[in-house]
Amino acid sequence: MLQDESVPDIPAANQVKTAVGVDLGIKKLMSLSTGQTIANPRFYQQMERKRSQLNRAVSRKVLGSRRRRKACQRLARLEQKVANRREDYQWKIANNLVQQFDLIVFENLNIQGMMARCKPKQDENGKYLPNGQSAKSGLNKAITDAAWGSLKQKVKILSDRVGVLVYEAVPHFSSQECSECGYISPTNRDQEKFICEECGHHEDADVDAAKVILQRGLNRLGIYLDAVPRVPRKQDKTTPEEPVGRQGKSSALVGEPGNPKIVPAIGVI
């Protein structure tokens, strides 16, 4: 059996000293439980106009011609440039995270489900009605541009090399839950603002969600950190199928067992 002695072991729960929760988004690529945020450069969107110009140039050329081949090469170089810039940016973020924390807690998002097409709607005559797919296509482009799955994979790769713990917690209602008292209500959040109706706690909505995600990961892994006060949770029998109308103390949301890994806070990128 081969073993690389230079790779450190994953720390045990009682060895975790620093931890961070990460909330993924579009306007802000990452919001950390430390209060820091990481910008989303939207590399694909930056080059969208240039890409459209090159696509039109390709379509005007004769099939099989030398000029069409050169136009396709210019388009391919642009696509590669976008991919390289995104890869470089994500590797830098991942490296900063694993250097700062012993534990990184992500939200376990179903990205494929988030990007699924809207179900078609029909009236009684069989005529198709607007279902919002045209508007959702813009969101799908933004999710693809953010590349959350690729970013998390890079964090996991680097965390294995340096011995950092990474975990993915259940994300349900994290944007509606107060990180101070655990109160859940859809009216707690107003776009980028979070104001708890129960205790009055107010904060950036994405940062509050990152704190909730961190606490769920700590609860699941059985880790207690002095810097992260535990919020008392009461068992709630409300089913997950009743999210929007639910108000009250949050239940002990438990994440599914997975590869535990941790992410550090990030400085200026």
Share of the chain above pLDDT 90, in %: 15
* pLDDT-based confidence at residue 262 (cuts at 50, 70, 90): very low
Share of the chain above pLDDT 70, in %: 77
Report pTM: 0.71
Report whether pLDDT(253) > 70.
Answer: no
Residue 235 has what pLDDT?
A: 37
Residue 68 has what pLDDT?
A: 92
Residue 76 has what pLDDT?
A: 93
Average predicted confidence (pLDDT) for the chain: 76
Residue 8 has what pLDDT?
A: 53
Burial state string for 1-36 with b = 16 or more CB within 10 A and e = fewer than 16: eeeeeeeeebbeeeebebbbbbbbbeebbbbbbbeb
Residue 129 has what pLDDT?
A: 76
Report whether pLDDT(87) > 70.
Answer: yes
Mean pLDDT within 53-67? 90
Residue 74 has what pLDDT?
A: 92
Residues 6+ apart with CB under 8 A from 117: 133, 136
Residue 116 has what pLDDT?
A: 74
